Chain A
Amino acid sequence: MSDEVLVEVEDLSRAYGGMLAVRHISFSIRRGQVLGFLGPNGAGKTTTMQILSGNLAPTTGRVRIAGHDLLEDPRHAKQAIGYLPEQPPVYRELTVDEFLDYCASLNRIERGKRRAAREAAKIKCGLGDTGKRLIGNLSKGYQQRVGLAQAIIHLPPVIILDEPTVGLDPIQIREIRHLIRELGKEHGVILSTHILPEVQATCDQVQIISKGDLVLNDSIEGLSRHMQSSTLAIALRDPPDLARIREIAGVKSVQDQGDGRLHVFYDPATDPTDALVELSVQNRWGLYELQPQRASLEDIFVHITTEEQESPKGTAA
């Protein structure tokens, strides 16, 4: 079951006028996978989400959802998706229960099962006691949850979430992320965001999109490997000549950050940390801070997305 391919995207493009917002991207999602769709503003994330949910027609390419072609058999394909756009599509004048009942019937849930579906979705999204309240009177966070409940009420195999944590407070963000991880166990989830820790916290597959091109498609573990870097940040009270440090075995280069703070880049094969500490004690350099630097997802992100235009350059500057 867990190998079942739920979404297949082939050679998808979308043009607005003469501008290609999404260029020939292809990917697939399996059941039990949470796919993070990452990119800066205007990279084509929302366009892709809208195409997957049937709100936009692709200029070229094919989308198959749970075995149904989105263009040729839209009804069955759409029945297999739950979509939460950037702005939750909720009717402010309805109560939560009324709205969710309407969504249940729109998604062709049988009359007798609607109530159970609504209650289950409410519990999953933490909407337990808000059933009788008007959606317009709920806070942004709760409206977001109603939007999420709407997307999962018919237990679709594929859930598409466009920036689901925007505008929420930190506690709500944690809850929503937890919920997404839970959903990812049984469904296929696509999640778009420009917040990098969100991807680390929730996804197991990452795609980075930049200016309409898919520039990276890797698992979270693969991404972590990208992130291992070989830099030490040290701070010395009485820094010596930089040449002294450069002489240590394994050190490739040293960058002065001012105030006795240095970045030491080294060859991953030979870790110079021990030698550095020893020398510092012997020569009274006054080492008071030593931190191995991990490239954050931000670094990788910036690196990959700018690499596009510039020629690839080494990280050890």
Chain B
Amino acid sequence: MILTIARNELRRMFLSPLAWTILAVVMLILAFMFLNNVQYFITIQSRLLSMGSDDGVTAVIAAPLLGNAAVVLLLVVPLLSMRLVADERRNKTLSLLVSAPVSMTEIILGKYLSLVAFLWLILALVAMMPLSLLAGGTLDFGLLGAGLFGLALLLAGFAAVGLFMSTLTQNQTVAAVSSFGVLLLFWILDWAGQGSGTSGILGYLSILNHYEPFLRGIFDTSDAAYLVLFILTFLMLSIRRLDMDRLGG
């Protein structure tokens, strides 16, 4: 049942020009960044060798690309997630799902899955860029894999926040703006207490601090656990919020 809902959501997403536009724009920008990184690597290649640095092509090209992709997608996810529930509420189509024999959990998970599937499609396309370098050399697959895994989890986290914000309102723009705000806040949370050396609990909550290790090739279970908990929390809140529609006015 979850898959049925997810498939329908995905189909409707691709029937709107929004999905295609976002795919095109994101790909264009990331490809431009990727080419810049390649250019940069070529110019500093000899210097890296002479300095005896062990940074290879993956560290110089792929890791910054994935870092930038995270920022670009932080801007894009709210645009994709805003319609999930808010739009159905406005068009009064939500009752189709609610009066069907499916639970709130299934509705939320179906919608969530459709968004994650779309984001992971973008991720797969992004992954192809560094993989294309295989034509002329070799890559550090451990580093690339960790980075891609980190980004996959991060996007799933973004999607959970976006979905929750969409359940709060019936106005798509409000949903987009608020999810962008929340995501950005989580991103910059570690700015607090910067310079004092200890960023404390805010630094720990910052989603960026749990993404960066992946880009350096470090797979830390605590970082992965943080992201998984982050996702579960917002999914839980979404289900509760949707259920509130029935109970509240």
Binding site for B on A (CB under 8 A): 16-17, 50, 53-57, 74-76, 78-79, 81, 83, 85-87, 89-94, 98, 102-103, 105-108, 150
> Contact: B92 with A93, CB < 8 Å?
no
> Contact: B99 with A53, CB < 8 Å?
yes
**A285 and B101 alpha carbons, distance in the complex (Å):** 70
**A108 and B106 alpha carbons, distance in the complex (Å):** 13
Q: Quick check: is B36 within 8 A (CB to CB) of the other chain?
A: no
Nearest to A98 among chain B residues (CB) is B11
- What 6 pairs across the A-B complex have the smallest Cβ distances? A89-B96, A79-B101, A83-B99, A89-B93, A106-B100, A78-B101
> Contact: B92 with A102, CB < 8 Å?
no
> Contact: B96 with A103, CB < 8 Å?
yes
Nearest to B100 among chain A residues (CB) is A106
- With A74-B103, A91-B93, A106-B4 known as contacts, the answer to whether A54 contacts B12 (CB < 8 A) is no
> Contact: A107 with B100, CB < 8 Å?
yes
> Contact: B101 with A53, CB < 8 Å?
no
B96-110 Cβ-contact flags toward A at 8 Å (1 or 0):
111111110000000
**A19 and B63 alpha carbons, distance in the complex (Å):** 59
> Contact: B15 with A54, CB < 8 Å?
no
CB proximity of B13 to chain A, nearest CB, Å: 10
| Inter-chain pairs besides A86-B92, A106-B96, 12 sampled, C-beta below 8 Å | A53-B98, A54-B99, A75-B101, A79-B101, A85-B92, A87-B91, A89-B92, A92-B91, A93-B16, A98-B11, A102-B4, A108-B101
**A78 and B106 alpha carbons, distance in the complex (Å):** 14
Query: Which residues of B lie under 8 Å from residue A107 when comparing CB positions?
Result: 100-101
**A61 and B247 alpha carbons, distance in the complex (Å):** 14
Tally of contact residues, B, Cβ under 8 A: 25
8 Å CB interface, B1-22 against A: 1, 4-5, 8, 11-12, 15-16
22 A–B contacts from the bound complex (CB under 8 Å): A17-B249, A53-B95, A54-B98, A54-B99, A55-B246, A74-B103, A78-B99, A83-B95, A86-B92, A89-B91, A89-B92, A89-B93, A89-B94, A89-B96, A94-B11, A94-B12, A94-B15, A102-B4, A103-B96, A103-B100, A105-B4, A106-B102
> Contact: A93 with B12, CB < 8 Å?
yes
Query: Which residues of A lie under 8 Å from residue B247 when comparing CB positions?
Result: 57
Query: Which residues of A lie under 8 Å from residue B101 when comparing CB positions?
Result: 74-76, 78-79, 106-108
CB proximity of A195 to chain B, nearest CB, Å: 21
Nearest to B104 among chain A residues (CB) is A74
Nearest to A105 among chain B residues (CB) is B4
Question: Per a CB cutoff under 8 Å, which of A75, A89, A98, A103 touches B95?
Answer: A89
CB proximity of A73 to chain B, nearest CB, Å: 10
CB proximity of B107 to chain A, nearest CB, Å: 10
> Contact: B4 with A81, CB < 8 Å?
no
Nearest to B97 among chain A residues (CB) is A106
**A136 and B96 alpha carbons, distance in the complex (Å):** 17
CB proximity of B243 to chain A, nearest CB, Å: 9
Query: Which residues of A lie under 8 Å from residue B102 when comparing CB positions?
Result: 75, 106
**A54 and B243 alpha carbons, distance in the complex (Å):** 11
**A94 and B91 alpha carbons, distance in the complex (Å):** 14
Nearest to A101 among chain B residues (CB) is B8
CB proximity of B106 to chain A, nearest CB, Å: 10
> Contact: B8 with A102, CB < 8 Å?
yes
> Contact: B4 with A75, CB < 8 Å?
no
CB proximity of B91 to chain A, nearest CB, Å: 8
CB proximity of A253 to chain B, nearest CB, Å: 49
**A76 and B246 alpha carbons, distance in the complex (Å):** 18
Nearest to B13 among chain A residues (CB) is A93
Nearest to B94 among chain A residues (CB) is A89
Query: Which residues of A lie under 8 Å from residue B98 when comparing CB positions?
Result: 53-55
Query: Which residues of A lie under 8 Å from residue B249 when comparing CB positions?
Result: 16-17
**A93 and B83 alpha carbons, distance in the complex (Å):** 14
**A16 and B93 alpha carbons, distance in the complex (Å):** 22
CB proximity of A170 to chain B, nearest CB, Å: 25
**A108 and B1 alpha carbons, distance in the complex (Å):** 8
**A106 and B103 alpha carbons, distance in the complex (Å):** 11
**A78 and B246 alpha carbons, distance in the complex (Å):** 14
> Contact: B96 with A150, CB < 8 Å?
yes
